[in-house]
Structure 1
Amino acid sequence: MNAQLEGKVAIVTGGASGIGRATALLFAQEGARVVVADIDGPGAEATAAQIDAVRPGAALAVRADVSSPDDCRRVVESATGTFGGLHVLFNNAGIIRRTTALDLDVEEWDRVMAVNVRSVFLMCKYAVPAMTEGGSIVNTGSGWGLKGGGNALSYCASKAAVVNMTRALAIDHARAGIRVNSVNPGDTDTPMLRDEARQLGEDWTAFASDAADRPMGRAGTPEEIARAVLFLAGDASSYVTGSALVVDGGGLA
């Protein structure tokens, strides 16, 4: 154990799968006690169980809809009540709808904004007062939060909002010792990426080949994104705040 987060308490939203699960596992490996929050309760339990198998008592699963103020408050209270504090928040929960404006229902637009944007606001609203010793907040943006993409209007808009909300949060809370940054992955081999292929009606093999069309010649892995999140969460990035870290194998370059 390198123990970069020894003694820290962390919340990971969207921790049931993909980047969230990989990050929760890495945080625990690095010494943190982790609250795994996800609307997929059994998935959150599975992640917590994987942590507990190695470090008994180091994880707590909470089923939560992070677009709900009550659920977000409950997640933070679970962290402080069970583990006695809060030092790291990884706002990772997110969804995608692969459509243009013409094909997007208003209800779908609202749901994407609720899960991808409103959740970041709500979790920060309740987490910041609990970070009495300072802390680090990492928000999951996207390469498509920094440039446009096709057939993904609501997702692009939501992730751009996350990136700039991150900057505003960083300004507001720096004097309290709280750093706020965004990690911006490119295509990463997660269940969400596979769902994108399904939404577009594309063969997964062909879709994966398109995702690999970048200088490094492949899509990312959840573990690679998790290591970037760990950097932003820990003391190695102690003078980094308001940053948008791109982790995409050179795609934006």
Structure 2
Amino acid sequence: MSAKGAIVTGGAGVLGQAIAAQLTADGFEVTLFDVDEAAVTQAANRLSASSGANASGYRVDVSDPDAVREQIARLEHAGRRLDCLVNNAAINPRLPLSGQTPDAWDTTMAVNVRGPMLLCQAMRPWWQRHGGGRVVNVSSRTWLGGGPTAYVTSKAAIVGLTRTLAVELGSLGVTVNAVAPSVVETPLTRAGRTEEEFEQFAARHRAMTPLGRLARPQDVADAVAFLAGERAAFITGEILHVCGGAQLAPTA
């Protein structure tokens, strides 16, 4: 139990892999959670091969209370440290109010909001026994400007969850912060868009961003790693916008 341990949810995705790689470089032993078992296993194997670290990947539906509790218990039994939790897993059905269905709404909230809560709940006893930890939630710049109904509501809820858990877990030595990125080119942001539609979408976001480009996975990974590290030991309840100043602009 020498190396600090970190869990990254959504670990098979572009952002999850970038975050996991940076945390590994910073000395964390990383565990990836994802609903895609084959993809998360491959991501963990690639990370282990490229870094020489002992990364692992597991299929976990973060919205399932039993799955979360059981996997956290397995990690504890195996002697893995649970110092840091990065709640990165998310879905975005991109439905407007007129097309929103109760099932799509509930599923989005279950993954994007209930999942982070369940993981914090499951890891709280470890943090209490070991004197602290770090939680970094991945929100979105859209919580300020709007967008797809369920997704944006869930990302605003993550801000509320971050702030309230910072208060509740502070006495245990746990810091809770969030990063709020702007658009990153990933399969999630490209899904359902043609090449032309995505380029128009990206161009609008570049135009409203003072630094004139989209966010990159490494931009997000660096911000997460900072909040997970010792240099951020006295920062909690904060929302770090990783969007080149787009938080200052109206929505695209």
Give the TM-score, by structure 1 length: 0.91
The residue aligned with 1:3 is none
Q: What secondary structure, in the 3-state scheme, does the structure 2 residue paired with 1:252 have?
A: helix
The residue aligned with 2:145 is 148
The residue aligned with 1:212 is 206
The residue aligned with 2:62 is 66
Q: Work out whether residues 60 and 71 of structure 2, in 8 Å CA contact, stay in contact via their aligned partners in 1.
A: yes
**2-structure distance, mates of 1:208, 1:25:** 26
Cα distance 1:209–1:33, how it changes in 2: closer, same or farther (>3 A)? same
**1-structure distance, mates of 2:202, 2:80:** 43
RMSD value over aligned CA atoms?
A: 1.7
Q: Work out whether residues 24 and 53 of structure 2, in 8 Å CA contact, stay in contact via their aligned partners in 1.
A: no
Cα shift readout 1:188-229 (whole Å, capped 9, x = no counterpart)? 12221112636xx96222222223221111111111100000
The residue aligned with 1:251 is 246
**2-structure distance, mates of 1:83, 1:57:** 16
Report the count of equivalent residues.
244
Q: Work out whether residues 98 and 196 of structure 1, in 8 Å CA contact, stay in contact via their aligned partners in 2.
A: no
Cα distance 1:10–1:106, how it changes in 2: closer, same or farther (>3 A)? same
**1-structure distance, mates of 2:73, 2:192:** 34
* Of 191, 215, 226, the match for 2:221: 226
**1-structure distance, mates of 2:40, 2:93:** 23
**2-structure distance, mates of 1:80, 1:137:** 17
Instruction: Report percent identity of matched pairs.
Output: 36
Counterpart amino acid of 2:201? F
Give ranges in structure 2 of 5+ residues lacking alignment. none
Give the TM-score, by structure 2 length: 0.92
**1-structure distance, mates of 2:7, 2:78:** 12
Give ranges in structure 1 of 5+ residues lacking alignment. 1-5
Q: What secondary structure, in the 3-state scheme, does the structure 1 residue paired with 2:56 have?
A: strand
Cα shift readout 1:132-152 (whole Å, capped 9, x = no counterpart)? 23100001111122x1323x1
Deviation at 1:54, TM superposition (A): 3.4
The structure 1 segments of at least 4 consecutive aligned residues displaced by more than 6 Å after TM superposition are none
The residue aligned with 1:17 is 13
Q: What secondary structure, in the 3-state scheme, does the structure 2 residue paired with 1:172 have?
A: helix
